[in-house]
Amino acid sequence: MNYSNNQMNNDSGFDMDYGTNKIISASKFNLIIGGCLLWGFVCNAIIITFFSQWVLSLNYWLVLIGYLISCFAGVMIYSKSDKPFISFIGYNLIVLPIGILLTSFLYGTNATIVLQAVVTTGAVTLIMMIASTIYPSFFMKIGNTLFIALLSVIVVEVILVFFFSANPSIMDWGVALIFCGYIGYDWAIANQKEKTADNAVDGAAALYMDIINLFIRIVSILSRKD
Residue 141 in domain: yes
* 148 domain residue, yes or no: yes
Nearest CA among 174, 184, 225 for reference residue 206: 184
Alpha helix (H) ranges present in 8-142? 26-50, 52-56, 60-80, 84-106, 111-134, 136-141
What's the pLDDT score for residue 216?
A: 96
Which residues of the chain carry a pLDDT beneath 50? 1-19
Q: Look at residue 10 and tell me if it is in a domain.
A: no
Instruction: Provide the domain count of the chain.
Output: 1
Structural domain range at position 69: 21-225
Q: Which of 47, 128, 93, 118 is nearest to 205 (CA)?
A: 93
Does residue 210 lie in a domain region? yes
What single string gives the DSSP state of each residue in 151-188?
HHHHHHHHHHHHHH----HHHHHHHHHHHHHHHHHHHH
